[in-house]
Structure 1
Amino acid sequence: MYQTVSHVLFDMDGLILNTEELYTIGFENIASRYGKKFTFELKCKIMGQQTREFAKMIIEGLDLPLTVDEFIVESREIFNELFPNCKVLPGVEKLIHHLHNSKIPIGLATSSSKESYELKTQKHQDLFDLFPYRTWGSSDPLVRLGKPHPDIFLVAANKFPDKPKAEECLVFEDSLNGVLAGRAAGMQVVMVPDTRLDRSLAVEAGATLVLSSMEDFRPELFGLPPYLH
């Protein structure tokens, strides 16, 4: 049912870190200033996108009287306070350490900018130092189009020195856009979605496997070294 892989790519927001919760708080804050409501439906549409892409979609979706640049400035003020306090999600550290110790090549493929990444990871440096290959979608000129386009995963996979084929890479994602991007890149995708998401949407997007928590992942399903209990 699952194909054996040799390389693993991780999304960050909502997958490694609980920053999606913080994005929701920030966007709800901005929307309420203009008498609007930031909905979960809109959130699902923007998750995984690059900064300017999601700013444009929120402005248009809520009919906000802001330019993209103004929205980014407002949101940055909020996130500068929120992001440094983000937490690592359950099961993630165990898997990343396991893959690192098992000599499985791992890479980070986040739509965040490098500046945003540094805010979010400042209290988790030891964990993120385990990623020798990192791609910041909003800062990397090679990532021309954000998720659901495949650019970020193709660019991230190309950073591995041995240049694996797409089918040799496994992607971990939490968003529908991320699943679509990974599948468009020709990779298998394990999705750990928000509990509110209708799982049938994950299947429609092409998720190879859908989990409630990273704690439920079994590496051997994809030919990776199993956990030693």
Structure 2
Amino acid sequence: MTATTADSVLTARAVLLDMDGTLVNSDAVVERCWRRWADRHGLDFDEVIKVVHGRQGYASMAVLLPERPMAENYAENREMLAAETADMEGVVPIPGAPAFMAALAGLRLPHALVTSADVPLSTGRMAAAGLGLPDVRVTAESVGASKPDPEGFLKGAAELGFDPADCLVFEDSEAGILAGRAAGMRVVGVGARAAALGPTVHVDDLTGVRIADAGGGEFRLTFG
């Protein structure tokens, strides 16, 4: 697939979608839960929040507390997931996400959710944001390694039945963008966090994304 950078057009046969920061704004919940965690461990919250976006909780904890046994990270990750799932206050769609998801479904563009959240958290947040769940979901339970490992995106492409080069990733975080690149995919960076991370195309949100059927199983996505 090719990009025409002059008019910000990409073509793809399938789309792989991160959730938090890409489709759903859950920053308020994430910050509340991780601030409590940072305070409990005597860590600077400003440094903690730089790490956690895009990664599974245990992977973030391993970066922030490198000497701690992984068993403790996995245990606290389960607690973190439960706390986040119980807190949906302030969860809203990213601007343009409802229309974007409707366009994907209406055009029957193959797409999958690839998220570091588990099934309960992803189900809850998508519902809180008023967004429908794709038929294909790659969640925390589906993979053995967290982003920035490419496993999730590669699994998503495989489940949809497409080569990585035919897939377009939508991501907001450094870990997610690195994962998409490592999977051999082009990446649309969404939001302020993604702007400085060198995605193939950057958009402030999803309001300016337009999708058209290009024929032959290809879809044209225009960004502007």
Cross-structure match for 1:179:
177
RMSD: 2.8
Which structure carries more strand by proportion? Answer: 2
Q: Please give the per-residue CA displacement for 1:200-224, whole angstroms capped at 9, x wherever unaligned.
A: 3x11xxx10111111122436x963
Q: What is the CA-CA distance between 1:7 and the residue it aligns to?
A: 0.7
Q: Which residue, out of 24, 47, 55, partners 2:53?
A: 47
Cross-structure match for 1:19:
26
Q: Is the 8 A contact 1:109 1:134 kept in 2?
A: yes
Q: Is the 8 A contact 2:91 2:129 kept in 1?
A: no
Q: Which residue, out of 121, 128, 136, partners 1:123?
A: 128
TM-score normalised by the chain length of structure 1 = 0.79
Q: Is the 8 A contact 1:188 1:208 kept in 2?
A: yes
Q: Is the 8 A contact 2:16 2:113 kept in 1?
A: yes
TM-score normalised by the chain length of structure 2 = 0.80
Cross-structure match for 1:132:
135
Cross-structure match for 1:217:
209
Return the alpha-carbon distance in structure 2 between the equivalents of residues 190 and 22 of structure 1: 24
Cross-structure match for 2:119:
114
Cross-structure match for 2:103:
98
Q: Please give the per-residue CA displacement for 1:132-161, whole angstroms capped at 9, x wherever unaligned.
A: 11110x201xx222111111000011111x
Q: Is the 8 A contact 1:84 1:121 kept in 2?
A: no
TM superposition outliers: structure 1 runs of 4+ over 6 Å: none
Q: Which runs of 5+ in 2 are unaligned?
A: 4-9
The one-letter amino acid of 1:89's match is I
Return the alpha-carbon distance in structure 2 between the equivalents of residues 78 and 4 of structure 1: 39
Q: What is the CA-CA distance between 1:165 and the residue it aligns to?
A: 1.4
Q: Which runs of 5+ in 1 are unaligned?
A: none
Q: What is the CA-CA distance between 1:187 and the residue it aligns to?
A: 0.8
- What secondary structure, in the 3-state scheme, does the structure 2 residue paired with 1:224 have? strand
Q: Is the 8 A contact 1:102 1:225 kept in 2?
A: no
Q: How many residues align?
A: 209
Return the alpha-carbon distance in structure 2 between the equivalents of residues 69 and 50 of structure 1: 10
- What secondary structure, in the 3-state scheme, does the structure 2 residue paired with 1:128 have? coil
The percentage of counterpart residues that share the same residue type is 25
Greater CA drift, 2-11 or 113-122: 113-122
Return the alpha-carbon distance in structure 2 between the equivalents of residues 210 and 174 of structure 1: 9
Q: What is the CA-CA distance between 1:67 and the residue it aligns to?
A: 3.0
Return the alpha-carbon distance in structure 2 between the equivalents of residues 153 and 226 of structure 1: 19
Q: What is the CA-CA distance between 1:60 and the residue it aligns to?
A: 4.1
Cross-structure match for 1:189:
187
